[in-house]
Amino acid sequence: MRTFMLGWEFPPFISGGLGTACYGLAKAMDQLGIQITFVLPKVETAQYSSHFKMFGAHGWFESEKLKNIRFRAISSTLQPYVASGTFGHHSRQSRAGHGKTAVHSNPGHLRWLDSMENYRGDMYAEVHRYAAKVAEIAATEEFDIVHAHDWMTYPAGIAVAAASHKPLLVQVHSTEFDRSGEHVNQMIYDIERQGMHAASKVIAVSNYTKNIIINRYGVPPEKVEVVYNGVECNPNCDSMPVRPDKNDKIVLYLGRITMQKGPEYFLSAAQKVLEVMDNIKFIMAGDGDMMNRIIELAAQLGIGQKVLFTRFLRGDDVQKAYQMADLYVMPSVSEPFGITPLEALQNKVPVIISKQSGIAEALLHALKVDFWDINEMANKMIAVLRYPPLHRTLCENGHFEAYKFRWEDSSAKIKKIYEKVLASA
Amino acid sequence: MASVCFYFQVHQPFRIRHYTVFDRDNNYFDDWKNAQVCRKVAKKCYLPSNLLMLDLIKKYKGRFKISYSITGVLLEQLELYAPEVLATFQKLADTGCVEFLAETYYHSLSYLYSRNEFVEQIEAHKQAMQRLFGQTPRIFRNTELIYNNDLAALIDQIGGFDAILAEGADHILGYRSPNFVYRPLKSNRLKLLLKNYRLSDDIAFRFSERSWPEWPIKADKFAGWVNAVNGCGFVVNLFMDYETFGEHQWQDTGIFDFLSHLPGEIFKHPDTDFKTLSEAVASYDAVDTLDFPGTTSWADIERDLSAWLGNPMQENALYELYRLEEKVKKTEDKDIIADWRKLQTSDHFYYMCTKYFADGDVHKYFNPYDTPYDSYINFMNVLDNLNSRCSKALQQKEEESLLAPHGGVL
């Protein structure tokens, strides 16, 4: 079985949930013996220093670890926006310090690298230029199926599928409604919709996302399959975390500070918690377009001295943040999946998660609240901080449960979907 | 000779309303939900089952006999929400073919935590049985058939009982059969009746299970299994929740048809009859002494306490609840004491069980919570409020007692 996969750069080169998901999935599919031609927007080759070997100047990569995967990079400025909650993990560091790029988040959900030479002026043109380039490469490749990850690669997927007469499969890691609420960018919505309708099968990362795909994009339910993400086993997590000596309990928010993640609900709940308990600190780890507003809001609510902002965290610091925490809260307004609660649980931190998330439907040992229900969020935060037996039970069961989400299972499920699609093609 | 002994457990808890740490009032229980559940179960189960039992007793001219254990907390709810059910239970009591058993009024785990409270609750339940049904119970069943040697000793000491019920757990019985009457280790006066869990669960759990090779069971087939006991046992103890009829097993499974045909099929065998539990105890001698060193119950496959005491949350909630006993009773405030006792109902701790959380099985039945964690949080919030109510009440009492001697002067 050979797949032509339109994906994104792997960590650590690039940030966020989409890259992480592509990596986890591709690695596990490689283990299953699926041949993958992995096409991705071009990376800064100078920074390649990990286990990928690079051949020639044409954007060919080959990995020592991944024997069934061939990489083909295309020069492009496309950057996936951080798709799920793993913003904290990587990102930014790759290009910072080179002086020639200015990376910033913007509400358009693309981090544009303004000064890159092949920047073509607008996102729409770039997406289609990318599609044309991909189609050229596809003509030289042999494959049975086309698999595209998130909207920016859909036009390319459609083009390749049409030219090769192979079935198209699109995987939805997030939708425009998750990122923008009701104020969707029509151009992006149209591309998403086109991709979903052109595909033989749509893979959603949760039933939560599946429902959006059905209700907002008019895709027939039988066409949408749900495949949960996995989470990488972190070997450091099982060792006893080093908790710093501290008098205060710590409640952690880790994610972009942006509308989708619900930071203002976190603060409002924090204020309520502080009405009842005193020795609590709230840490907000992450950066984003709402940063300044949120700092102001904390001051306005009169809890400025209790809320600490770390700005953006990377690498070990993320791990440290988890390990310091007594409680992790994900108050997302709309979260297609949500890997961070699983990471928190790996670090033996109990979690409160928004019901408006994919992970809420799959994770049993978590406390769940509606993101807007400040009272209930505070009620549950207080309970976890106040009652050690609750903390302990959530921790132990949740830690165990977090390891249920394995990329091996995700890729096996995708393989089955491939087989189904190919059988009916 | 073999006797079929039906005993039905009739119980609904006072479910707690959603109560956050920010709530300050004393209304802990979800009146709306409790009324709704009570009326629904009354309509689907209690009322049709009671009418059927009355019919059967009439039809077989007193040869069909059954026993009930009805909890005090359900009786209170029936009086409030479904008095017609109470009336039919009273009619059943009047037939003389129905026996009512004793248990803790609040369906509590008090035996495990407070002997005083345990004794008081049995007394309260006894009085309710006398008041409502004109019977003084002679048989004791502990909440969820929780049983061990010490329980027999305690019940013996309390006095007034002829027998205790227990689960016919394999690890206790070994090669022995549950179809005999036994003697508990620590009492010479009492007898033990053991649940025949295979035949009981055939009705209670497997009746509508299509993947079960014996499905469907009809009255004649089941009567055949019961009659097979003749010659190797005297009693067939079919102990189950009353909600089996019409609620756990819906009407369209044929459960009521089964029940209405069963006595006729049983009576086809000349050596089989029905007995109330007291009659069975009086008719048959104990064949052996049974040692229950550990604590058993009728719950889950483990048949132990793990459904209520299986995780730190449950242990903590129960510990904190009974730690309040002295303080609660000191207030002598009737409302506070009643609220505290309603919180003792075992269901509250059953909801906190994480054991089969993943399977979504029987623990889900009428469970008002999404997760065991929610139920613990709710319970602890209520308990916290109750605690501060006690403190306030005690403080008030103290102030009054300080003022009292000088009352006239001031």
Question: Would strands A60-63 and A69-74 be described as parallel, antiparallel, or unpaired?
Answer: antiparallel
Note the pLDDT tens digit of each residue in B128-172. 999 999 999 999 999 999 999 999 999 999 999 999 999 999 989
The distance of A338 to chain B (nearest Cα, Å) reads 20
Q: For residue A51, what is the DSSP state?
A: S
- The whole-number average pLDDT for the span A150-170 is 95
Q: Residue A389: which of B312, B357, B371 has the nearest Cβ?
A: B312
User: How would residue A13 be classed by pLDDT, with cut points 50, 70 and 90?
Assistant: low
Angstrom distance (rounded) from CA B38 to CA B28: 17
Q: Are A390 and B377 inside 8 Å of each other by CB?
A: yes
Q: Are residues B273 and B321 in the same domain?
A: no
Q: Are residues B124 and B168 in the same domain?
A: yes
Is the per-residue pLDDT at B406 higher than 70? Answer: no
Q: Residue B373: which of A375, A378, A390 has the nearest Cβ?
A: A390
Q: Are residues A396 and A264 in the same domain?
A: yes
Q: Is the ipTM of this complex over 0.90?
A: no
Is the per-residue pLDDT at B294 higher than 70? Answer: yes
How many Cα atoms are found within 13 Å in the side-chain-facing hemisphere of B272? Answer: 24
Q: Are residues A11 and A124 in the same domain?
A: yes
Angstrom distance (rounded) from CA A126 to CA A78: 7
Contacts of B381 in chain A (CB under 8 A): 379, 383
In a domain, B93, yes or no: yes
Name the most confidently modeled range: A39-53, B12-26, B206-220.
B12-26
The distance of A355 to chain B (nearest Cα, Å) reads 12
Nearest CA in chain B to A272: B22
Q: Are A390 and B381 inside 8 Å of each other by CB?
A: no
- Best of B19, B21, B364 to mutate (most A CBs within 10 Å, chain A): B21
Q: Are residues B248 and B124 in the same domain?
A: yes
Is the per-residue pLDDT at A66 higher than 90? Answer: no
The tally of domains found in chain B comes to: 2
In a domain, B299, yes or no: no
Q: Are residues A51 and A161 in the same domain?
A: yes
- Best of B23, B316, B357, B373 to mutate (most A CBs within 10 Å, chain A): B373
Q: Are residues A118 and A104 in the same domain?
A: yes
Last residue of a domain, one of B262, B290, B318: B290
pLDDT value of residue A87: 34
Q: Are residues B314 and B275 in the same domain?
A: no
Contacts of A276 in chain B (CB under 8 A): 21-22
In a domain, B295, yes or no: no
Write out the residue range of the structural domain in which residue A118 sits. Answer: 2-230+406-424
Q: Which residue has the tokens 């055949």?
A: B224
Q: Are residues B197 and B100 in the same domain?
A: yes
Q: Are residues A94 and A140 in the same domain?
A: yes
Question: In CATH, what number is assigned to the domain containing residue B168?
Answer: 3.20.110.20
In this prediction the pTM is: 0.87
Element (H, E) at A352: strand A351-354
Q: Are residues B370 and B283 in the same domain?
A: no
Q: Are residues B189 and B67 in the same domain?
A: yes
Is the per-residue pLDDT at A11 higher than 70? Answer: no
Q: Are residues B317 and B261 in the same domain?
A: no
Distances (CA, A) of B78 to B63, B96, B144: 28, 22, 21
Q: Are residues A384 and A418 in the same domain?
A: no
Q: At what angle do helices A374-386 and A388-402 cross, to 10 degrees?
A: 100
Chain centroid offset of residue B336 CA: 24
Please list, in sequence order, all residues whose beta carbon lies within 8 angstroms of the beta carbon of residue B36, skipping any fewer than 6 positions away: none
Active site residue B399: no
Percent of residues, chain B, with pLDDT higher than 90: 83
- The whole-number average pLDDT for the span B196-208 is 92
Q: Are residues B282 and B316 in the same domain?
A: no
A365 touches chain B (CB under 8 A): yes
pLDDT value of residue B397: 92
Q: Are residues A160 and A296 in the same domain?
A: no
The distance of A120 to chain B (nearest Cα, Å) reads 51
Q: Are residues B112 and B55 in the same domain?
A: yes
- The whole-number average pLDDT for the span A261-272 is 97
User: How would residue A111 be classed by pLDDT, with cut points 50, 70 and 90?
Assistant: very low
User: How would residue A58 be classed by pLDDT, with cut points 50, 70 and 90?
Assistant: very low
Position A276, amino acid: V
User: How would residue A122 be classed by pLDDT, with cut points 50, 70 and 90?
Assistant: confident
Q: Are residues A216 and A109 in the same domain?
A: yes
pLDDT value of residue A9: 76
Q: Are residues A241 and A288 in the same domain?
A: yes
Residue among B144, B167, B243, B247 flagged as catalytic: B144
Angstrom distance (rounded) from CA A192 to CA A149: 11
Nearest alpha carbon to residue A319 among A354, A298, A353, A348: A348
A272 touches chain B (CB under 8 A): yes
pLDDT value of residue B358: 60
The distance of B145 to chain A (nearest Cα, Å) reads 27
Angstrom distance (rounded) from CA A218 to CA A220: 6
pLDDT value of residue A425: 74
Write out the residue range of the structural domain in which residue B352 sits. Answer: 310-393
Q: Are A364 and B370 inside 8 Å of each other by CB?
A: no
The tally of domains found in chain A comes to: 2
Position B75, amino acid: L
Angstrom distance (rounded) from CA A151 to CA A176: 9
The distance of B77 to chain A (nearest Cα, Å) reads 29
Q: For residue B97, give both structure tokens.
A: 């073919």
Note the pLDDT tens digit of each residue in B30-84. 999 999 999 999 999 999 999 999 999 999 999 999 999 999 999 999 999 999 9
- The whole-number average pLDDT for the span B277-293 is 95
Q: Are residues A241 and A217 in the same domain?
A: no
Q: Are residues A61 and A140 in the same domain?
A: yes
Q: Are residues B90 and B157 in the same domain?
A: yes
Mean pLDDT (chain B, rounded): 93
pLDDT value of residue A63: 54
Nearest CA in chain B to A380: B377
Q: Are B373 and A393 inside 8 Å of each other by CB?
A: yes
Q: A14: left (phi > 0), else alpha (psi -120 to 50), else beta?
A: beta
pLDDT value of residue B201: 93
Q: Are residues B108 and B152 in the same domain?
A: yes
Task: Decide: A165 and A323 in contact? Cβ < 8 Å.
Answer: no
Angstrom distance (rounded) from CA B406 to CA A314: 71
A173 touches chain B (CB under 8 A): no
Question: In CATH, what number is assigned to the domain containing residue A96?
Answer: 3.40.50.2000
